[in-house]
Amino acid sequence: MKILISGIPGTGKTFIGEYLREKKGFRHIDMESGALFQELKISPENFINSQLSGKEDIVVTGGFMISDLAFALVKMIISKGFVFVWFDGNREVAKEAFIKRNTVAVKLFDAKMGELAGNYSKIMALHPLLVNSFDEASKFRKPAEIVKEIEDKLILRHI
């Protein structure tokens, strides 16, 4: 299985990527890690061909940047057989989680959310599986529940 997880900041994308690596044996590629991010910026095609062409289970995680390059990159990754999953949910809780791990987070979060809001329909046109990473009490859902939801939605998509 090949999964691309993106979405709003602070929704647990990297956490679920690590969960899939640890519990399910996926190879996890975090597109926001330093060296990979540089490789991606230099040559998206080389990145995709060198990092994403294997037959093993792969999960790629990363925040969504609003640019023509980002949309093209997502389309290229999808064309390699990846399922695009969009993490969303309670924006205030996501903001708090994002702030806890990023010192310049308040302005960055608000800027990212403004970019996303203006491009949400364009993102949804890529037909991602939508996943809310929070429960009714605005707490992070258990990783196993999120993974099960993704698996169930994949099955339904192919029926």
Q: Specify if 153 maps to a domain.
A: no
Q: Check if the beta carbon of residue 41 is closer than 8 Å to that of residue 144.
A: no
Determine the Cα–Cα distance for residues 103 and 108; give it in Å rounded to an integer: 10
How many other C-beta atoms can be found within 10 angstroms of the C-beta atom of residue 80? 14
Q: Specify if 84 maps to a domain.
A: yes
Q: Name the CA radius of gyration of the chain, rounded.
A: 15
CA distances from 38 to 43, 54, 157 (A): 9, 21, 34
Give the residue numbers spanning the domain of 111: 2-146
Summarize pLDDT for 83-94 with one digit per residue, the tens: 999 999 888 888
Determine the Cα–Cα distance for residues 63 and 56; give it in Å rounded to an integer: 23
Q: CATH code at 65? A: 3.40.50.300
Confidence of residue 150 (pLDDT cuts 50, 70, 90): very high
Pairing mode, strands 27-30 and 129-132: unpaired
Q: Specify if 114 maps to a domain.
A: yes
Q: Specify if 118 maps to a domain.
A: yes
- Residue 159 pLDDT > 60, yes or no? no
Summarize pLDDT for 8-43 with one digit per residue, the tens: 888 999 999 999 999 999 999 888 776 676 777 777
Q: Specify if 122 maps to a domain.
A: yes
Q: Structural domain tally of the chain?
A: 1
